Protein backbone atom coordinates (compact mmCIF):
# COMPACT_ATOMS: atom_id res chain seq x y z
CA UNK A 1 0.00 0.00 0.00
CA UNK A 2 2.90 2.27 -0.62
CA UNK A 3 1.17 4.62 -3.03
CA UNK A 4 2.34 8.17 -3.55
CA UNK A 5 2.83 9.83 -0.20
CA UNK A 6 0.83 13.04 0.07
CA UNK A 7 2.15 15.80 2.20
CA UNK A 8 -0.84 17.18 4.03
CA UNK A 9 0.63 20.68 4.18
CA UNK A 10 1.54 20.96 0.48
CA UNK A 11 -0.75 22.82 -1.90
CA UNK A 12 -1.36 22.57 -5.61
CA UNK A 13 0.81 25.22 -7.35
CA UNK A 14 -2.21 26.88 -8.97
CA UNK A 15 -4.01 27.11 -5.63
CA UNK A 16 -0.89 28.49 -3.97
CA UNK A 17 -0.63 31.13 -6.71
CA UNK A 18 -4.31 32.09 -6.31
CA UNK A 19 -3.90 32.31 -2.56
CA UNK A 20 -0.88 34.60 -2.98
CA UNK A 21 -2.76 36.84 -5.45
CA UNK A 22 -5.75 37.00 -3.09
CA UNK A 23 -3.48 37.98 -0.21
CA UNK A 24 -1.99 40.84 -2.28
CA UNK A 25 -5.47 41.95 -3.35
CA UNK A 26 -6.70 42.04 0.26
CA UNK A 27 -3.65 44.09 1.27
CA UNK A 28 -4.29 46.56 -1.57
CA UNK A 29 -8.00 46.87 -0.68
CA UNK A 30 -7.09 47.46 2.95
CA UNK A 31 -4.77 50.32 1.96
CA UNK A 32 -7.44 51.85 -0.29
CA UNK A 33 -10.03 51.73 2.50
CA UNK A 34 -7.53 53.32 4.88
CA UNK A 35 -6.92 56.16 2.40
CA UNK A 36 -10.65 56.71 1.85
CA UNK A 37 -11.22 56.77 5.62
CA UNK A 38 -8.40 59.29 6.03
CA UNK A 39 -9.74 61.56 3.27
CA UNK A 40 -13.25 61.59 4.77
CA UNK A 41 -11.76 62.37 8.18
CA UNK A 42 -9.78 65.26 6.67
CA UNK A 43 -12.87 66.55 4.83
CA UNK A 44 -14.73 66.72 8.14
CA UNK A 45 -11.85 68.55 9.85
CA UNK A 46 -9.08 70.09 7.67
CA UNK A 47 -6.79 70.49 10.70
CA UNK A 48 -6.28 66.70 10.55
CA UNK A 49 -4.37 67.28 7.28
CA UNK A 50 -1.95 69.59 9.09
CA UNK A 51 -1.38 66.93 11.76
CA UNK A 52 -0.65 64.33 9.06
CA UNK A 53 1.80 66.73 7.36
CA UNK A 54 3.61 67.21 10.68
CA UNK A 55 3.81 63.42 11.12
CA UNK A 56 5.36 63.08 7.66
CA UNK A 57 7.89 65.82 8.44
CA UNK A 58 8.83 63.95 11.64
CA UNK A 59 9.35 60.75 9.62
CA UNK A 60 11.51 62.67 7.15
CA UNK A 61 13.67 63.94 10.01
CA UNK A 62 13.94 60.43 11.42
CA UNK A 63 14.50 58.35 8.26
CA UNK A 64 15.52 60.94 5.67
CA UNK A 65 13.49 62.25 2.74
CA UNK A 66 11.74 59.84 0.37
CA UNK A 67 9.81 60.39 -2.85
CA UNK A 68 6.76 58.61 -1.47
CA UNK A 69 6.61 60.79 1.66
CA UNK A 70 7.21 63.96 -0.38
CA UNK A 71 4.33 63.11 -2.74
CA UNK A 72 2.07 62.25 0.20
CA UNK A 73 2.91 65.54 1.93
CA UNK A 74 2.24 67.48 -1.29
CA UNK A 75 -1.14 65.75 -1.73
CA UNK A 76 -2.12 66.55 1.86
CA UNK A 77 -1.16 70.22 1.42
CA UNK A 78 -3.21 70.47 -1.77
CA UNK A 79 -6.19 68.79 -0.11
CA UNK A 80 -5.93 71.10 2.90
CA UNK A 81 -5.77 74.30 0.82
CA UNK A 82 -8.67 73.20 -1.39
CA UNK A 83 -10.78 72.38 1.67
CA UNK A 84 -10.01 75.74 3.28
CA UNK A 85 -10.99 77.52 0.04
CA UNK A 86 -14.19 75.47 -0.15
CA UNK A 87 -15.06 76.33 3.47
CA UNK A 88 -14.52 80.04 2.75
CA UNK A 89 -16.72 79.85 -0.37
CA UNK A 90 -19.47 78.06 1.56
CA UNK A 91 -19.25 80.58 4.41
CA UNK A 92 -19.49 83.51 1.95
CA UNK A 93 -22.44 81.82 0.24
CA UNK A 94 -24.21 81.33 3.60
CA UNK A 95 -23.63 84.99 4.50
CA UNK A 96 -24.92 86.08 1.08
CA UNK A 97 -28.03 83.89 1.46
CA UNK A 98 -28.59 85.23 4.98
CA UNK A 99 -28.45 88.80 3.65
CA UNK A 100 -30.88 87.94 0.83
CA UNK A 101 -33.31 86.09 3.11
CA UNK A 102 -33.18 88.58 5.99
CA UNK A 103 -36.57 90.27 6.41
CA UNK A 104 -36.10 94.02 6.02
CA UNK A 105 -39.26 95.43 7.63
CA UNK A 106 -41.90 92.75 7.43
CA UNK A 107 -43.99 91.02 4.77
CA UNK A 108 -45.75 94.27 3.71
CA UNK A 109 -42.45 95.72 2.50
CA UNK A 110 -41.87 92.74 0.20
CA UNK A 111 -45.13 93.36 -1.69
CA UNK A 112 -46.63 90.15 -0.28
CA UNK A 113 -49.96 89.94 1.54
CA UNK A 114 -49.81 88.91 5.20
CA UNK A 115 -49.51 85.13 5.72
CA UNK A 116 -53.02 84.83 7.24
CA UNK A 117 -54.58 85.39 3.79
CA UNK A 118 -52.79 82.26 2.53
CA UNK A 119 -54.84 79.99 4.81
CA UNK A 120 -56.86 77.32 2.98
CA UNK A 121 -60.64 77.62 3.39
CA UNK A 122 -61.77 74.85 5.72
CA UNK A 123 -64.45 72.40 4.59
CA UNK A 124 -66.37 69.91 6.72
CA UNK A 125 -64.88 66.40 6.70
CA UNK A 126 -67.65 64.71 4.65
CA UNK A 127 -68.13 67.47 2.05
CA UNK A 128 -68.28 66.23 -1.58
CA UNK A 129 -65.41 67.09 -3.90
CA UNK A 130 -66.73 69.68 -6.33
CA UNK A 131 -65.18 70.37 -9.71
CA UNK A 132 -66.30 72.79 -12.42
CA UNK A 133 -70.13 73.25 -12.46
CA UNK A 134 -70.73 71.18 -15.64
CA UNK A 135 -68.76 68.08 -14.48
CA UNK A 136 -70.42 65.64 -12.04
CA UNK A 137 -68.48 64.60 -8.91
CA UNK A 138 -66.39 61.44 -9.22
CA UNK A 139 -68.26 58.17 -8.69
CA UNK A 140 -66.92 55.52 -6.34
CA UNK A 141 -65.10 52.66 -8.10
CA UNK A 142 -67.54 49.72 -8.13
CA UNK A 143 -64.94 47.15 -9.28
CA UNK A 144 -62.49 47.84 -6.46
CA UNK A 145 -64.40 48.87 -3.29
CA UNK A 146 -62.41 50.62 -0.55
CA UNK A 147 -60.96 48.39 2.18
CA UNK A 148 -63.14 49.73 4.98
CA UNK A 149 -66.28 49.89 2.82
CA UNK A 150 -68.12 46.62 3.49
CA UNK A 151 -68.22 44.95 6.91
CA UNK A 152 -66.44 41.62 6.78
CA UNK A 153 -67.86 38.42 8.26
CA UNK A 154 -65.57 36.79 10.81
CA UNK A 155 -63.95 33.60 9.45
CA UNK A 156 -65.71 30.37 10.45
CA UNK A 157 -64.17 28.51 13.39
CA UNK A 158 -61.82 25.67 12.40
CA UNK A 159 -63.41 22.19 12.39
CA UNK A 160 -62.71 19.99 15.40
Quote the number of domains for the chain: 1
pLDDT of 157: 86
Ranges in the chain, pLDDT < 50: 107-109
What is the pLDDT, as a whole number, of residue 9? 72
pLDDT at 120: 57
Do the domain assignments include residue 151? no
| 154 located within any domain | no
Residue 30 domain flag = yes
Q: Within the chain, how many helices (H) and strands (E) appear? A: 3, 0
Question: Please, which residues have CB within 8 angstroms of residue 42's CB and are 6 or more apart in sequence?
Answer: 48, 49, 52, 76, 79, 80, 83
Tell whether 75 is covered by a domain: yes
- Sorted by sequence, the CB contacts under 8 Å of residue 87 that are 6+ apart come out as 46
Distance in angstroms (rounded) separating the CA atoms of residues 73 and 81: 12
Q: Is residue 111 part of a domain?
A: no
Residue range(s) defining the domain that contains residue 49: 14-101
Residue 125 belongs to some domain of the structure: no
Amino acid sequence: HNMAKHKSNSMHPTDAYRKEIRKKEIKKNKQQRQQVREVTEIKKDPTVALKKIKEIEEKEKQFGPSDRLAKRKEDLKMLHTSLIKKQKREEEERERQARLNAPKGGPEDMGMPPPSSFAMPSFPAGAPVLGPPDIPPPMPNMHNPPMGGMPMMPPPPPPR
